Amino acid sequence: MNHPPNRKVLISGASIAGPTLAYWLDRHGFKVTVVEKATHLRGGGYAIDIRGTARDVVERMGLLPRLRQAHVDSRQLTFLDPDGEVMAELRPEALTGGIEGVDLEVRRGDLADCLYDLARDKVEFLFNDSIATLDDRGDHVDVTFDSGTRRTFDLVIGADGLHSNTRSLVFGPEERFHRYLGFCFAGFTLPNDADLAHEGVLWNVPGRSAILYAYEPGESTYGFLTFAQDEPPFSAFRNPQAQRDLVAATFPDTVWEIPRMVAAMRGADDLFFDVVSQIHMPAWSTGRVALAGDAAHATSFMSGQGSSVSLVGAYVLAGELATRTDHVTAFAAYENTVREFVERNQALATEGGGVVAPRTRQHLDTRNAILRNRTTMPSSTEGRSAHTAFDLPDYEQSLRTA
Ligand SMILES: Cc1cc2nc3c(=O)[nH]c(=O)nc-3n(C[C@H](O)[C@H](O)[C@H](O)COP(=O)(O)OP(=O)(O)OC[C@H]3O[C@@H](n4cnc5c(N)ncnc54)[C@H](O)[C@@H]3O)c2cc1C
């Protein structure tokens, strides 16, 4: 294959979108560097689903066998009433529109590991560093890193998440693009004292939910506390103690596993606290800089599609860069190709809190009536069509026949 133009690409962020993009760019003949702020690949996070079009991406990466091994195989969701009594039990697919035996559900950290392992020997990874300045000179981009190193790249891609540093440096403050859905959440690991396995247990009162996800018997569980909050708690973002205090004050309940969850959250070394928000941008690129994954189009966990959409977007961005003659047309084609898919999946998350955290008594009663009557959740049919709303182009085939 001829070397593509704009060969030297810097990607900021090594989670889901970053390593996926790095892998495909390398496979298409680019020279890739990934910079990650953390000192090592970050583990942790909830179990994420890989469905529909995203499953095709990981299949093309040869990852299906490994991801099948990592599949956490949730078999049941149990919904509790405010007193902690069982109200309904059902298969997860009844809510998500996923397909039993086809979809993959893996811990976020396991997916990140798989993606990193594929790229690590071919791509340069710089941990514990971050882009400090970016200067798009028209025919290249000059980059200074926090470490003081200066380097030059042909293109820079921000895959650095909901609170993207690259987006702030190039497109402006996050507030311009941030759509807050009115909830915050805290996720953390805790011991499996309730002896759960392959299941999720959800406790709800209006505007608040506590969830325990369990994987293999005997393994740790993952706790998830979600709560409605009118304004994003800006003061808590840079202060882990304030995050813990806010979550604990919001969950004073003495029912079910809540006291144990709050105590575990207080001491957790992997606490992940954030807002439930989306990113909506009029354009995902400018000049020689583009965005991918949550940085460009966060869908929020309430869509159930954040990682899947990030896998698909990264695949398309790499393919368009490989098959177009210049970055301007490639970036435009990337956006034209996946924007509709992204927006359909963003629309799965609503300010009503969906199934996970119905915001008001009315939202909760409506959800519970559906659960009790065992009718299909509207989210399930909408979900299924959004997950598969896009057919993955075969860029390697295009390159072979070009
Ligand atoms: C540790 C972790 C736990 C998560 N847990 C949850 C969860 O429980 N629920 C949920 O809804 N979503 C969670 N997410 C977000 C979820 O992974 C994303 O929504 C989705 O997978 C899209 O992935 P992404 O690669 O676009 O962004 P992300 O997964 O957010 O990854 C962004 C990456 O960029 C890195 N980064 C950030 N700033 C910089 C910078 N200045 N320079 C270089 N690198 C930078 C981050 O460390 C991270 O590795 C988590 C993300 C991480 C990193």
Which CATH number do you get for residue 158? 3.50.50.60
Determine if ligand 1 sits within 6 Å of the CB of residue 49: no
The pick from 20, 133, 160, 301 for probing ligand 1's pocket by mutation, whose C-beta has the most ligand atoms within 8 angstroms, reads: 160
Determine if ligand 1 sits within 6 Å of the CB of residue 174: no
Burial 167-190 (b: 16+ CB within 10 A, else e): bbbbbeeeeebbebbbbbbbbbbb
Q: Is residue 310 part of a domain?
A: yes
Task: Compute, in angstroms, the gap from residue 108 CA to the centroid of ligand 1.
Answer: 9
Q: Is the pTM of this model over 0.95?
A: no
Using CA atoms, how far residue 123 sits from 10, 25, 91, 164, 386, in Å, is: 10, 10, 40, 21, 32
**Structure confidence at residue 51 (pLDDT):** 87
Using CA atoms, how far residue 50 sits from 57, 67, 201, 306, in Å, is: 9, 10, 21, 10
Determine if ligand 1 sits within 6 Å of the CB of residue 15: yes
Determine if ligand 1 sits within 6 Å of the CB of residue 35: yes
Task: Compute, in angstroms, the gap from residue 293 CA to the centroid of ligand 1.
Answer: 9
309 Cα nearest atom in ligand 1: 22
Q: Is residue 46 part of a domain?
A: yes
Determine if ligand 1 sits within 6 Å of the CB of residue 160: yes
Beta bridge partners of 286: 289
Tokens of 236: 């808590």
Q: What is the DSSP letter of 317?
A: H
**Structure confidence at residue 74 (pLDDT):** 85
Task: Compute, in angstroms, the gap from residue 163 CA to the centroid of ligand 1.
Answer: 9
**Structure confidence at residue 322 (pLDDT):** 96
CA distance 279 to 162: 7
Q: What is the DSSP letter of 304?
A: T
Helix (H, G, I), strand (E, B) or coil at 13: coil
Contact, 77 vs 200, CB < 8 A? Answer: yes
Using CA atoms, how far residue 257 sits from 161, 268, 353, in Å, is: 31, 16, 22
Q: Is residue 196 part of a domain?
A: no
- Which of 23-26's residues contact partners 24+ apart within 8 Å by CB, and which partners? 23/61, 23/115, 23/118, 23/119, 23/122, 23/123, 24/314, 24/315, 24/318, 24/319, 24/322, 25/318, 25/321, 25/322, 26/119, 26/122, 26/123
Beta bridge partners of 10: 33, 156
Task: Compute, in angstroms, the gap from residue 29 CA to the centroid of ligand 1.
Answer: 26
CA distance 156 to 279: 19
Work out the angle at residue 54's Cα, subtended by the Cα atoms of residues 128 and 296, and round it to the nearest 5 degrees.
50
Domain membership of residue 319 as a residue range: 8-73+103-177+278-350+378-401
Tens-binned pLDDT, residue by residue, of the chain (402 aa):
555 667 999 999 999 999 999 999 999 999 999 999 999 998 877 888 898 899 999 999 999 999 999 988 888 999 999 999 999 998 887 776 666 667 888 999 999 999 999 999 999 999 999 999 999 999 999 999 999 999 999 999 999 999 999 999 999 999 999 999 999 999 999 999 888 999 999 999 999 999 999 988 888 999 999 999 998 888 888 899 999 999 999 999 999 999 999 999 999 999 999 999 999 999 999 999 999 999 999 999 888 889 999 999 999 999 999 999 999 999 999 999 999 999 999 998 877 888 889 999 999 999 898 888 766 555 556 566 788 888 899 999 989 887
CA distance 160 to 296: 9
Q: Is residue 199 part of a domain?
A: no
294 Cα nearest atom in ligand 1: 26
Q: Is residue 56 part of a domain?
A: yes
Task: Compute, in angstroms, the gap from residue 113 CA to the centroid of ligand 1.
Answer: 13
Task: Compute, in angstroms, the gap from residue 394 CA to the centroid of ligand 1.
Answer: 27
Q: Is residue 329 part of a domain?
A: yes
Contact, 238 vs 193, CB < 8 A? Answer: no
Task: Compute, in angstroms, the gap from residue 338 CA to the centroid of ligand 1.
Answer: 20
Listed in sequence order, the residues at least 6 apart from 372 whose beta carbon sits closer than 8 Å to its beta carbon are: 87, 88
Q: Is residue 154 part of a domain?
A: yes
Q: How many domains does the chain have?
A: 1
108 Cα nearest atom in ligand 1: 17
The pick from 11, 12, 15 for probing ligand 1's pocket by mutation, whose C-beta has the most ligand atoms within 8 angstroms, reads: 15
CB atoms within 10 A of CB 302: 25
Q: Is residue 218 part of a domain?
A: no
**Structure confidence at residue 163 (pLDDT):** 95
